[in-house]
C-alpha cells in the first residue's frame, strides 16, 4: 500500500506534463504506467540506425506549440523542413492540373465546413462533400489520415474547432524521444503498473494495480478515450457522463509502415505520392523524410482497420503493391520492411487519435471536467482545439495539474 497526494494514471504526454507541473509543488505524486516504457502514443524506436516515430512525429502548429522551446532546450534538433503535404509540387504522381483541381476541391470543402460550423445543429462532415465530385474519395482518404476516420464519422463543429497554424516541424531524434526526455526527475514513474480499478467512494481514492494498492487524495486520469470506453481502467462508482463522452470521442486509426530503400538516390527527398487518387482505401507515402533512405507509408480509417485485421504483413504488402503501381515492379526488390504499427491492437491505446462523432463535439468539455474536486482528466481528447496532438495532450496535463494544486493546496 502506497499513500500519495496525487496519483497520475498513464505516462503519455498528458501524464508526463501533469507530473512535470506537480514536481515543483509540495505535493507528493506518482505516475502509474501500464507499459514497460513511457510516452504512450509518442514512441520512437531506433532501427537500422534511424529514429523512427511509430506515433506522433510532427510538431503541429509549431509556431505556437509549447513543446518546441522545451524540446530545443534539452538539446534536441528541431527540423523546420516543411511537410510534403504543404507543398502541392511535392505530390510526385499528380499532374499539375490534378494538383490544382484537388486543391480547389479541398479549399471549397473547407469553406463549406467553416460556414456550417456556426450552425445550431452539428452534422457529419461528409454532408458537405459535393455530390459526385471526382475528388471525394481522396478527400475521404485525407480524413482517414487526419481524423483517423472518414468524414461520415466526423463532427463538423469538432473538425472546425481544431486550431492548426499550418506550421509543422519535426525533431530529428524523434518526437517520442523528446516526450520521454521531458519526464521530470522529481516524480516517481512506475512502469509495468496498469491501474485496473479506481474507486472514489471512500475518504481516499483507491487505485488497484497488480503491484498493490495506491491511496491518493487526487488522481489525474490520462488514459485514452478508447481505453476508458473499453473498461481498460474501471472507475467506481461509475461516471456515466464520462463513459458517454469517451464513446462520443472514439480514437480513429492511423498506422504507419516504414520501408527501407536500397537505392535511395533514385527517389526524391521529402516528396509524397498517393497510391491512387480515385479511392479512399489508399496509402499516402512520404518519400525520404529528412533525406533518410526510407519511405514512410501512412494508412487511416476503415482501410487501416482492415489492414490490421488482415494480419501483421498486410499493410506492408499493400504499400509495396501501391508503390509498384507508381514506380514499376523493379521497386519490389529494392525495399525491405523496417517497421509497421498496429495502434488499434495496442491494448493501452486502442487507436491513434480522437475525433468527435457527429453531434458530440461538446463531449470534449464533459470529458475534461473535474469530479468532486479530486478526479481530474487529461489527455489529447480533453483539448478543446489541439485534440489529437501531443502538444494538445501536454497542455491538458498542465491544466489538470493547475486544477489539482488549486484543489489540494
Ligand X SMILES: Cc1cc2nc3c(=O)[nH]c(=O)nc-3n(C[C@H](O)[C@H](O)[C@H](O)COP(=O)(O)OP(=O)(O)OC[C@H]3O[C@@H](n4cnc5c(N)ncnc54)[C@H](O)[C@@H]3O)c2cc1C
Among 348, 368, 375, 401, binds ligand X (CB under 6 A): 348
Identify the CA nearest to 92 among candidates 342, 273, 335: 273
CB-based contact 180:53 (threshold 8 Å): no
For position 232 contacting ligand X by CB under 6 A, the verdict is yes
For position 389 contacting ligand X by CB under 6 A, the verdict is yes
CA distance 258 to 341: 9
Write out the binding residues for ligand X, residues 183-222 only, by CB under 6 A: 194-195, 222
Q: What DSSP letter does each residue of 82-123 carry, written as one string?
A: PPGGG-GGGBTTS-HHHHHHHHHHHHHHHHHHHHHHTSSS--
For position 281 contacting ligand X by CB under 6 A, the verdict is no
Provide the 3-class DSSP secondary structure of residue 67: helix
Write out the binding residues for ligand X, residues 240-259 only, by CB under 6 A: 254, 256
CA distance 251 to 227: 9
What's the grid cell of residue 169?
516541424
Residues that contact ligand X, how many (by CB under 6 A): 42
Strands 335-340 and 284-287: unpaired
For position 10 contacting ligand X by CB under 6 A, the verdict is yes
If the CB atoms of residues 115 and 365 are measured against ligand X, the closer one turns out to be 365
For position 32 contacting ligand X by CB under 6 A, the verdict is yes
- Contacting range for ligand X; rule: CB under 6 A; set: 27-35, 107-115, 266-274, 332-340: 27-35
CA distance 330 to 346: 34
CB-based contact 56:389 (threshold 8 Å): yes
Please name the residue that has the C-alpha cell 499550418.
Answer: 166
Number of other residues whose CB lies within 10 A of the CB of residue 161: 17
Smallest distance from ligand X to CB 143, Å: 15
What DSSP element (H or E) covers 246? helix 240-248
If the CB atoms of residues 15 and 283 are measured against ligand X, the closer one turns out to be 15
Among 4, 19, 29, 33, binds ligand X (CB under 6 A): 33
CA distance 387 to 362: 13
For position 67 contacting ligand X by CB under 6 A, the verdict is no
- Contacting range for ligand X; rule: CB under 6 A; set: 90-98, 236-244, 281-289, 382-390: 382-390
For position 379 contacting ligand X by CB under 6 A, the verdict is yes
For position 352 contacting ligand X by CB under 6 A, the verdict is yes
Smallest distance from ligand X to CB 121, Å: 28
Instruction: Mark residue 351 as left, alpha or beta (left: phi above 0; alpha: psi -120 to 50; beta: remaining).
Output: left
Among 19, 55, 151, 403, binds ligand X (CB under 6 A): 55
Tell me the residue number closest to ligand X, measured at CB. Answer: 12
For position 180 contacting ligand X by CB under 6 A, the verdict is no
- Contacting range for ligand X; rule: CB under 6 A; set: 70-78, 114-122, 305-313, 341-349: 341-349
Binding site for ligand X (CB under 6 A): 9-15, 32-35, 40-42, 55-58, 60, 194-195, 222-224, 227, 232-233, 254, 256, 341, 343, 348-349, 352-353, 379-380, 388-391, 393
Amino acid at each position: 500500500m502506497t499513500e500519495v497526494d496525487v496519483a497520475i494514471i498513464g505516462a503519455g504526454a498528458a501524464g508526463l506534463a501533469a507530473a512535470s507541473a506537480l514536481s515543483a509543488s509540495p505535493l507528493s505524486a506518482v505516475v502509474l504506467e501500464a507499459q514497460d516504457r513511457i510516452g504512450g502514443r509518442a514512441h520512437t524506436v531506433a532501427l537500422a540506425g534511424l529514429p523512427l516515430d511509430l506515433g506522433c512525429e510532427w510538431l503541429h502548429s509549431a509556431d505556437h506549440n509549447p513543446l518546441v522551446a522545451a524540446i530545443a532546450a534539452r538539446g534536441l534538433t528541431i527540423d523546420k523542413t516543411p511537410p510534403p503535404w504543404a507543398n502541392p509540387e511535392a505530390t510526385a504522381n499528380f499532374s499539375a492540373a490534378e494538383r490544382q483541381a484537388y486543391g480547389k476541391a479541398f479549399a471549397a470543402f473547407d469553406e463549406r465546413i467553416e460556414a456550417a460550423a456556426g450552425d445550431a445543429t452539428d452534422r457529419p462532415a461528409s454532408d458537405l462533400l459535393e455530390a459526385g465530385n471526382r475528388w471525394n474519395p481522396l478527400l475521404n482518404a485525407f480524413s482517414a489520415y487526419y481524423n483517423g476516420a472518414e468524414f461520415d464519422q466526423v463532427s463538423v463543429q469538432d473538425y472546425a474547432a481544431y486550431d492548426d497554424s499550418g506550421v509543422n516541424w519535426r525533431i530529428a531524434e524523434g518526437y517520442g524521444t523528446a516526450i520521454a526526455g521531458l519526464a521530470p526527475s522529481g516524480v516517481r514513474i512506475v512502469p509495468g503498473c496498469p491501474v485496473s480499478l479506481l474507486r472514489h467512494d471512500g475518504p481516499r481514492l483507491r487505485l488497484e494495480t497488480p503491484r498493490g494498492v495506491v491511496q491518493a487524495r487526487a488522481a489525474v486520469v490520462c488514459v485514452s478515450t478508447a481505453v476508458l470506453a473499453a473498461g481498460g481502467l474501471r472507475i467506481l462508482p461509475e461516471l456515466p457522463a464520462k463513459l458517454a463522452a469517451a464513446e462520443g470521442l472514439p480514437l480513429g486509426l492511423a498506422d504507419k509502415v516504414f520501408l527501407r530503400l536500397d537505392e535511395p538516390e533514385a527517389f526524391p527527398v521529402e516528396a509524397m505520392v498517393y497510391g491512387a487518387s480515385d479511392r479512399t482505401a489508399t496509402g499516402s507515402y512520404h518519400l525520404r523524410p529528412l533525406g533518410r533512405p526510407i519511405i514512410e507509408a501512412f494508412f487511416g480509417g476503415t482501410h487501416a482497420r482492415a489492414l490490421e485485421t488482415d494480419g501483421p504483413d498486410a499493410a506492408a504488402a499493400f504499400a509495396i503493391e501501391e508503390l509498384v503501381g507508381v514506380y514499376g515492379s523493379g521497386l519490389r526488390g529494392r525495399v525491405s520492411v523496417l517497421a509497421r504499427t498496429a495502434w488499434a491492437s495496442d491494448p493501452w491505446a486502442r487507436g491513434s487519435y480522437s475525433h468527435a462523432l457527429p453531434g458530440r463535439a461538446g463531449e470534449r468539455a464533459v470529458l475534461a471536467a473535474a469530479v468532486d474536486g479530486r478526479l481530474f482528466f487529461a489527455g489529447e481528447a480533453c483539448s478543446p482545439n489541439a485534440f489529437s496532438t501531443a502538444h494538445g495532450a501536454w497542455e491538458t496535463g498542465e491544466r489538470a495539474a493547475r486544477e489539482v494544486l488549486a484543489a489540494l493546496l
